[in-house]
């Protein structure tokens, strides 16, 4: 009820103030109505000029339902406007009175509504200190703070998942996003095997370390990520502006090293891409790589780099975040 008063709050305040003044002074003439209008306009313009550029926030239509109670401010403000008008009728009369009623009713109402926004802002700030923290820390970042949280701050390695499938469409969307991330000479050696069937899961589980088996078994989807060592064959189409690029990888050791490095980068991109889909990724390297290579890549030209459990995090899935090295520990400037 109070929330629905919000869009009509000012009308309510001005009508009430006008009604109180009329009941004390009699119905207004044309000059008095114009004075009322002029007074209201004056208050609007004066307050707008005073507040220009300083408003702390605008109301958020997506705010939590609990915050909308602040709409209740509209009703007491209409009552305040009426009270002030009643007091004014005791001091003056004629167009001056009506002008003052217009100005004060408008000012009282608008100041009340501003107080509402201010209270909301203070409440919002206290409840969301975390949001403020990252606003402070991330000012130089162009990425939206909610996206920063989704990809990094609130994302974590998850071992327990909700009972909700991960679809091929979701993984395709992840790939369509991460394929734009860079690799050397645009080689893109990452290969992804989606392990879905019970039989394939069993084949994979045999090669996982004991501690990782249950984690994979609990995941709606498991992806085996590997490097393709023969990817240089794609160079003529993927790096066309350097026709001799393929020759640079003639030596097996060179192309293996290059493919492993680039594919590892792509593993990182993949984990972030999974998070971008609102899913959690549990990367693992606790496995027998030769066993997985034989099991899933019989050509001898691939090497597994990571096995990633994927799914929507289950309830209580997040553990406490382990500490991270500080900027000062990691970064040096020379």
Ligand X SMILES: Cc1cc2nc3c(=O)[nH]c(=O)nc-3n(C[C@H](O)[C@H](O)[C@H](O)COP(=O)(O)O)c2cc1C
Task: List residues binding ligand X (CB under 6 A).
Answer: 156-157, 212, 283-286, 306, 321-322
Nearer to ligand X, 157 or 183 (CB): 157
- DSSP letter for 60, please: -
The secondary structure of residue 150, as a DSSP letter, is I
Long-range pairs of 115-118 with CB within 8 A, sequence gap ≥ 24 = 115/73, 116/70, 116/71, 116/73, 117/55, 117/56, 117/57, 117/58, 117/59, 118/56
CB-nearer residue toward ligand X: 9 or 283: 283
User: Least Å distance between CB 286 and ligand X?
Assistant: 3
Distance CA 152, CA 77 (A): 44
Please say which residue, 105 or 284, places its beta carbon nearer to ligand X: 284
Question: What's the N-to-C CA distance of the chain in angstroms?
Answer: 64
Least separation, in Å, of the C-beta of 177 and ligand X? 19
Nearest to ligand X of 103, 216 (CB atom):
216
Min dist. Cβ of residue 1 to ligand X (A): 46
What residue is closest to ligand X based on CB? 286
- Provide, rounded to whole angstroms, the least separation between the CB of residue 212 and ligand X: 5
Nearest approach in angstroms of CB 289 to ligand X is: 12
CB of 225 to ligand X, least distance (A): 10
Closer by beta carbon to ligand X, 184 or else 209 = 209
Torsion of CA 41, 44, 49, 54, to 10 degrees: -170
Contacts of 239 (CB under 8 A, 6+ apart): 185, 186, 187, 245
Exposure of 274 in the CB half-sphere (CA atoms within 13 A): 27
The pair of structure tokens assigned to 329 is 């520990």
Pick between residue 259 and residue 284 the one whose CB is nearest to ligand X: 284
């Amino acid at each position: 009820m109070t929330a629905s008063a919000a869009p009509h709050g000012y009308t309510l305040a001005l009508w009430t103030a006008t009604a109180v003044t009329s009941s004390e002074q009699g119905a207004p003439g044309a000059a008095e109505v114009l004075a009322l209008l002029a007074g209201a306009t004056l208050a609007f313009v004066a307050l707008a000029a005073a507040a220009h550029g300083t408003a702390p926030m605008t109301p958020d239509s997506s705010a939590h339902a609990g915050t909308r109670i602040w709409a209740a401010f509209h009703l007491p403000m209409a009552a305040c406007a009426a009270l002030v008008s009643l007091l004014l009728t005791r001091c003056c009369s004629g167009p001056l009175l009506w002008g003052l009623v217009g100005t004060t009713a408008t000012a009282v109402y608008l100041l009340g509504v501003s107080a509402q926004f201010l209270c909301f802002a203070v409440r919002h700030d206290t409840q969301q200190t975390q949001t403020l923290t990252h606003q402070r820390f991330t000012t130089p970042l162009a990425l939206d703070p909610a996206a920063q949280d989704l990809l990094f701050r609130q994302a974590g390695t998850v071992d327990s998942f909700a009972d909700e499938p991960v679809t091929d469409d979701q993984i395709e969307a992840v790939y369509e996003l991460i394929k734009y991330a860079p690799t050397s000479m645009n080689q893109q050696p990452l290969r992804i095997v989606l392990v879905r069937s019970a039989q394939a899961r069993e084949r994979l589980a045999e090669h996982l370390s004991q501690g990782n088996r249950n984690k994979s078994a609990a995941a709606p989807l498991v992806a085996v990520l590997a490097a393709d060592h023969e990817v240089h064959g794609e160079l003529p189409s993927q790096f066309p502006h350097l026709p001799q690029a393929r020759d640079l990888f003639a030596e097996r050791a060179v192309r293996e090293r290059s493919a492993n490095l680039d594919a590892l980068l792509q593993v990182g991109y993949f984990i972030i891409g999974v998070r971008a889909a609102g899913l959690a990724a549990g990367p693992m390297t606790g496995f027998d790589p030769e066993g997985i290579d034989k099991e899933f890549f019989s050509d001898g030209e691939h090497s597994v780099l990571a096995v990633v459990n994927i799914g929507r995090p289950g309830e209580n899935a997040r553990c406490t975040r382990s500490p991270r090295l500080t900027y000062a520990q990691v970064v040096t400037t020379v």
